Structure 1
Amino acid sequence: MDVDFLLIGQGLAGTVLSYRLIKDGHSVMVIDEPKANNSSRVAAGLYNPVTGRKMVKTWNADLLFPEIEPLYEELEKELGASFLHKMPIYRPFLNIEEQNEWMGNSEDEKFKIYLKQIQITPLHKKVENDFGGVVLANSGYLDINTLLDCYSKFLIEKNSLLEDYFDENQLIIQEDRIHYKELTARGVIYCNGLGTMKSEFFKFLPFAPVKGEILDLEQDFHPKEIINRGVFRISLPNGLVRVGSTYSWHDLDQGPTERAKNELFERLDHLVKIKAKKLVNHKTGIRPATKDRRPMLGKHPDHESVYVFNGFGAKGVSLVPYYSKMMVDLLINNNQPHNDVNISRFFKYI
């Protein structure tokens, strides 16, 4: 079977990139091993324009955020499913100084598009928010599992999904074609998260895997906003509450840990005044983060037909829509990605 591109991995990166390629008229085959560790399936899926302890605008927000909702809305329409949940995010202020700073930010043009309101009095009696907080716009979360499941069916209908283990030893690279078992293609793209670390082609890339754990709880508080300060708290359509996330670089080979569970409960107790009633689910995943916290896009320095689209870490929902367009431009027009995400920044380590 001959296709234009072979994509390894149908997580969020492989899903969105293959969709853009198909939409542009190119044929693909996605190879995905459903039982492999897939960080996309345990990710919370938040997209949040203001992040961090200092509440700063997220990196490249003005480029990223115009692409997020239109792309996922288009996929909803294509797949006949609902998985994009637009929700404001409420970030309580810790002190009067933060309140004053954000009153000033509200008049700054570079912030206005991301602000719904500045709250100088408590928004919720059940939240620790004595100094009020900022209500963010252009935010929400993506139900990534529903997207991946629906998109798998979409690929199957197009005979574009091979659910199997990818054996790189069977990949044959020629000057202008690649061969894999019965498949031939113009190029192969590694979108398989941490699986790329095992590749002989990309072992020079500085992945920095990060473990994240999230909880699903029963709790009698269901605001219309995502509450986010020290921990995020999302009211889900099924009546549960999702809380996360932890970041660990040390216990990557363990499953859910008591330490992370206790940490999340403690942070939640400092954010919401009502105790959780019951722990329903405790999930963990390993994020394909990078040492410089930037995605990794590009072409292998020695093989014209071998590419990588990877390293999106915890912010994949925000990053993938914009950078998938850049990746398509590389694949089709050979236009290089921006320097800050191009894998050429690591060629000196080969």
Structure 2
Amino acid sequence: MKVDYIIVGCGLAGISFCEQLLANNKTFVVFDNNSQQSSTVAGGLYNPVTLKRFTPVWQSKKQLALAIPMYNSIEQRLNVKLDYKVPVRKRFTSLEEQNNWFAKSDQEGLSDYMSLNIYKNENKSITSQYNFGEVLETGRIDTSLLISEYKKQLKNKGQLFCESIDYNVIQFNNNSISYKDILTTHIVFAEGFGLKQNPFFNSLPLQGSKGELITIKAPELKLDFVLKSSVFIIPLGCSIYRIGSTYDHTDKTNAITSQAREELLTKLKTLINCDFEVINQVAGIRPTVKDRRPLVGTHPKYKNMHVLNGLGTRGVMIGPYAAQQLYNHIEQNSTLDKDLDIARFNL
């Protein structure tokens, strides 16, 4: 078999790069061993404002301009609903925080996304003395459905290998790479936290942050927007809500923990006062980097071996932008955005 690309990993990074290849009529296959769960268990929000400090998300305008059309295109091709236009509202904890919101909403990179309206709390099940501020151009991507349906289509087309890649079998030719019976021009590693096991790129400073979420059923809550406070409350429909997320920089397993469950429940109970039932809990390792920027680029020794990783907590938004950067770098020799270029680290 001869293809233009081998992609390793079928999470948000891998899918975003697949979309670049499809748009440019490139042939490819994908290897995925289902070991990384960060994309599957993600909250899936796209939100251009960091609500902890009211600062703009890095390259948010460019990211949204690429991401939303990409997900809409996938929706049409796979005939599934992925993109839910849901408002994100920040619960104010004081009048000072309200005033800070208005002060920041005038700034460049924020004025397009921070509503000047204060939304009064009219929900008896929510505790919020100082009401809410609303972020514009937000929504939720159903990442679990995206990945499962995307893999299904790749499998139907004979493009998906549900197995680990054996790094020892990769052979470098003059201008190509051989892997078993596949001959390719390029290989792109989009393995998420699995990159730590990759001998070609494991010296990159991928830290990893474990995140856990719980899912609750709360018929009385009747929330039709995403509520952000000490945790996110994300409505999924039918009285089901996702609550997240925790951050653990030491535990690097996908096992759920009682500590994370208790942390989320303790925070949730300060926000809502209605009855609810926990119906699920999931965990995954986010591929995070210390400087909170992706890891994108070409191996300094092997010029047709590349990495697309480190999407962190905002993979839904940043994945398409990072994938386009890498594709243009490979095919057109364009300069990578210096903030995501792996050249900023010694490989």
User: TM-score range with shorter-chain normalisation?
Assistant: over 0.9
- Unmatched tracts of structure 1, length 5 or more: none
Tell me the amino acid that sits aligned with residue 4 of structure 1.
Answer: D
Alignment of 1:334 with 2:342, yes or no, is: no
CA deviation map 1:122-170 (0-9, x unaligned): 3533323211221111111111111111111221233211112211111
Match of 1:230, SS state, is: coil
Q: Are positions 1:316 and 2:303 aligned together?
A: no
Name the SS of the counterpart of 1:39 in structure 2. coil
Do the aligned residues in 2 keep the contact of 1:49 with 1:57 (CA within 8 Å)? yes
Q: Say if 1:106 and 1:118, in contact at 8 Å, map to a contact too.
A: no
- Give the AA of the match of 2:160: L
Distance 2:254 2:202 in 1: 23
Q: Which residue of 2 aligns with 1:294?
A: 293
* Corresponding residue of 1:7: 7
Q: 1:125 to 1:340 in 2, by over 3 A?
A: same
C-alpha distance in 2, partners of 1:94/1:263?
A: 19
Give distance in 1, aligned partners of 2:261 and 2:216.
11
> What does residue 247 of structure 2 align with?
247
Report the equivalent of 1:63. Answer: 62
In 2: Cα distance, 1:174 partner to 1:266 partner: 57
Task: Give the corresponding residue for 1:285.
Answer: 284
Letter in 2 for 1:18: C
2:88 aligns to what? 89
Q: Using a 3 Å threshold, how does the CA distance of structure 1 residues 186 and 136 change in structure 2: closer, same or farther?
A: same
1:96-111 to 2 correspondence within 5 Å? 96-108=95-107, 110-111=109-110
User: Which consecutive residues of structure 2, in runs of 5 or more, have no partner in the other structure?
Assistant: none
Structure 2 partner of 1:260 = 260
Of all paired residues, the percent bearing the same amino acid is 30
Aligned partners of 2:207 and 2:287 also within 8 Å: yes
Which amino acid in 2 is paired with 1:340?
Answer: D
Distance 1:59 1:203 in 2: 25
Q: Is the 8 A contact 1:177 1:185 kept in 2?
A: yes
1:58 deviates by 1.9
- Matched residue, 1:170: 169
1:113-192 matches, within 5 Å, as 113-119=112-118, 121-192=120-191
- Is 1:73 matched up with 2:91? no
Check whether the contact 2:294–2:311 (CA below 8 A) recurs between aligned residues. Answer: yes
The letter for the 1-side match of 2:8 is: I
Alpha carbons of structure 1 residues 193 and 327: separation in structure 2 relative to 1, 3 Å: same
Aligned ranges for residues 221-240 of structure 1 at < 5 Å? 221-240=221-240
Bigger share in helix: 1
Rounded to whole Å, the distance in 2 between the matches of 1:32 and 1:11 is 9
Counterpart secondary structure, 1:25:
coil
Secondary structure of residue in 1 paired with 2:134: strand
Aligned partner of residue 216 in structure 1, secondary structure: strand
Determine the C-alpha separation between the residues in 1 that align with 2:154 and 2:136: 33
Secondary structure of the residue that 2:340 maps to in structure 1? coil
Aligned residue pairs, count: 346
Q: Counterpart of 2:30?
A: 30
Distance 2:248 2:184 in 1: 38
Report the residue type matching 1:114 in the other structure.
Y
In structure 1, what is the Cα distance between the partners aligned to 2:107 and 2:51? 19
Q: Residue deviations 1:235-280, cap 9 Å, x none?
A: 11243111000000122236111111111011111222324x2110
Q: Which amino acid aligns with 2:176?
A: R
Contact between 1:29 and 1:162, CA under 8 Å: does it hold in 2?
Answer: yes
1:91-119 CA distances to partner (integer Å, 9 max, x unpaired)? 01111112122234445564232134521
The letter for the 2-side match of 1:160 is Q
Relative distance call for 1:32 and 1:150 in structure 2 (3 A) is same
TM-score (norm 1): 0.94
SS in 1 for 2:39: helix
Matched, 1:199 2:162: no
**1-structure distance, mates of 2:43, 2:308:** 21
For residues 318-340 of structure 1, give each alpha carbon's deviation from its aligned partner in whole angstroms, at most 9, with x where no partner exists: 11121211111012112131111
Contact 2:188-2:307 within 8 A present in 1 as well: yes
**In the alignment, is the contact (CA less than 8 A) between 1:41 and 1:144 conserved in 2?**
yes
3-state SS of 2:234 partner: strand
1:44–1:120 Cα change, 3 Å: closer
Q: Distance in 2 between matches of 1:108 and 1:169?
A: 51
Query: What CA distance in whole angstroms lies between the structure 2 residues aligned with 1:72 and 1:232?
Result: 22
